[in-house]
Structure 1
């Protein structure tokens, strides 16, 4: 079962708070729960919560009674960096587990000293230092809290957070000219952010712009660099995940007219960032 909470807006450098109540609708008590939050830049750490990669993982020993509604002892607080770009978006994805269900999960570790099950060497968890985050039974629960099945192993929810009143970006691309009129060559294209707002691609889902590269007629890509994939016409590539790409090409005959590199939305998320000067969002590519 899953749901999305109401979207939240937060000023860059400010704090967004959200609670995560749920109902245990099973017929039997359940002892213990685990909360995994996929988010960075949470404002506080807790002694019963560890950071594993980009996730905060909290363990609770609370006995959950059938029909009862539970919430956190205090809302989780997300604090975006003060130099975030206006319009930056992130999704804080949240999963509640029973301790049994979480122990079988292949990514995280439920408690200190537990054994990891990873496909690669995992990062070491970093445990918080502030007083424990706890679960409390809500006497006056909010309307329509999410429900869990019996027996429930996991329940997913999340919240979308958008940064307001941040800093503008100045995204720019550099074009290129091949040095040959026939044969193999390379084309280098680059993405630069002149700020003052900063891109956080590991934090925000729309802070990873794509570059759409279209070569002049008579020029085709011969290899896809990492992070790029070719369209069927072989003259067009879309690249993301990096800011600098060197693309092997073959020039058969230089044709009149320049190619183009331009900043476009990431294929999974619209950009929608505050970038007042868009005159430098594209540049030419010339062969020969």
Structure 2
């Protein structure tokens, strides 16, 4: 999705709001008729699930009340599990749909259970057997959206479902004591109620940065490309779990073009957000900059790193920082930058030609040229976010930014979160390429 100049001064929003829209699939039942008494459903609170281990299972207890004045003859309970979770054996009165990743959201699985029985006004009910979910090896920050409704919801025409019936014994609803606490119903949609259950797994995700090395003569324009990659084992869901990448260019250079999702924090320094909505294992985000070599500065080098405080799940700090090196031909008889490691793990950043504009030279922009999934709207906890400061990059990047050496200013970084309401439906688009 094209981004305006104003967008370039803002941090990219994340897509928890978009993935939160998955949960609304379960709430797509037709609204109750305005004529006569209406059904009123309200869920009981569901506690977050913390510290579950990959390979284990956990239960999602669901209870609800018929707060209306009429008897209900049928309800549906829906469980939508995010990418790091999977449904186990389901009762025969439930169906499961597994939807693959697409341009709008990651893969997920939904289970819809139909209960064809009489539900009295004022009574509280729960399934006689609690549904269980499996924690996959790549789980970390995941969610389950649960809902109760008088209808089964509507199929997304862009992602047709192919439900598979459960094979276990059918499950019925049992009546609970009337003193069982339940929440308030939604006055705008009394015929359905839903809630998001956060699931945090005891897992890690290792983010690796790759630097870059380029070469040219004074006056040349060259390209450098740094990168951040999720090496796993966990995926990173759309939320505030994708850190900002801090990039500083070597002294003696001017940035003539910067990525739209990077903004200037100081001369030659940029704070970059990922254009991806989520990071699966193996996903990488490149950051490609165009530099003009203004003068040779012996020993000058830049760097790429990220704010480790934003990634507590990353326990390997050895590959969190890498160098950006620039070899300038003809300066005092040789290169000004000398040797050095470019990759975060001690390797160089890749290979490629870089020199243009009246000079020759070869170098290696680090990392691959893939982009990721681009967001098209606000997300839940849009990751760490910092508003563009005066001097933020606009179209064409920082056109008057002279490189400042390896210092990485961390001041001015702020986090912003956007709450996800149950009534908010937001779809996003990712950038065309990945990995």
TM-score category, normalised to shorter length:
0.7 to 0.9
Structure 2 unpaired stretches of 5+: 1-41, 100-107, 277-282, 328-435
Query: Which of the residues 296, 312, 315 maps onto 1:272?
Result: 312
The yes-or-no answer on 1:23 pairing with 2:30 is: no
What is the TM-score with the length of structure 2 in the denominator?
A: 0.50
The yes-or-no answer on 1:162 pairing with 2:197 is: no
Partner of 2:88: 44
1:247-273 deviation line (CA, Å, top 9, x unaligned): 14232525754332223479xxx5321
Counterparts of 2:165 and 2:242, CA distance in 1? 30
The yes-or-no answer on 1:245 pairing with 2:286 is: yes
Counterparts of 1:96 and 1:18, CA distance in 2? 14
Contact persistence 1:24–1:147 (CA under 8 A): no
Structure 1 unpaired stretches of 5+: 110-115
Contact persistence 1:74–1:133 (CA under 8 A): no
- Corresponding pairs, count: 258
SS in 1 for 2:126: strand
Relative to structure 1, the CA distance from residue 182 to residue 13 in structure 2 (aligned partners, 3 Å threshold; closer, same or farther) is farther
1:217-274 deviation line (CA, Å, top 9, x unaligned): 53426253xxx612145841424334141514232525754332223479xxx53215
Partner of 2:430: none
Contact persistence 1:206–1:272 (CA under 8 A): no
SS in 1 for 2:117: strand
* RMSD after superposition: 3.5
Post-superposition shift, 1:73? 3.1
Counterparts of 2:88 and 2:170, CA distance in 1? 10
Contact persistence 2:205–2:233 (CA under 8 A): yes
Relative to structure 1, the CA distance from residue 29 to residue 3 in structure 2 (aligned partners, 3 Å threshold; closer, same or farther) is closer
Greater Rg over alpha carbons, structure: 2
Query: Which of the residues 174, 189, 213 maps onto 1:177?
Result: 213
1:174-206 deviation line (CA, Å, top 9, x unaligned): 111233354443222233456xx612235x857
Counterparts of 1:96 and 1:144, CA distance in 2? 16
Counterparts of 2:45 and 2:326, CA distance in 1? 49
Counterparts of 2:131 and 2:77, CA distance in 1? 11
Relative to structure 1, the CA distance from residue 170 to residue 50 in structure 2 (aligned partners, 3 Å threshold; closer, same or farther) is closer
Post-superposition shift, 1:19? 0.4
1:98-137 deviation line (CA, Å, top 9, x unaligned): 21xx54xxxx42xxxxxx4x4xx31433414323664413
Relative to structure 1, the CA distance from residue 220 to residue 14 in structure 2 (aligned partners, 3 Å threshold; closer, same or farther) is same
Partner of 2:323: 284
Relative to structure 1, the CA distance from residue 124 to residue 7 in structure 2 (aligned partners, 3 Å threshold; closer, same or farther) is closer
Relative to structure 1, the CA distance from residue 28 to residue 263 in structure 2 (aligned partners, 3 Å threshold; closer, same or farther) is same
SS in 2 for 1:220: strand
Counterparts of 2:134 and 2:179, CA distance in 1? 24
SS in 2 for 1:177: strand
Partner of 1:74: 129
Relative to structure 1, the CA distance from residue 135 to residue 235 in structure 2 (aligned partners, 3 Å threshold; closer, same or farther) is farther
SS in 2 for 1:148: coil
Q: How does 1:187-202 map to 2 (within 5 A)?
A: 187-192=224-229, 198-201=233-236
Contact persistence 2:123–2:178 (CA under 8 A): no
Contact persistence 1:25–1:147 (CA under 8 A): no
The yes-or-no answer on 1:263 pairing with 2:323 is: no
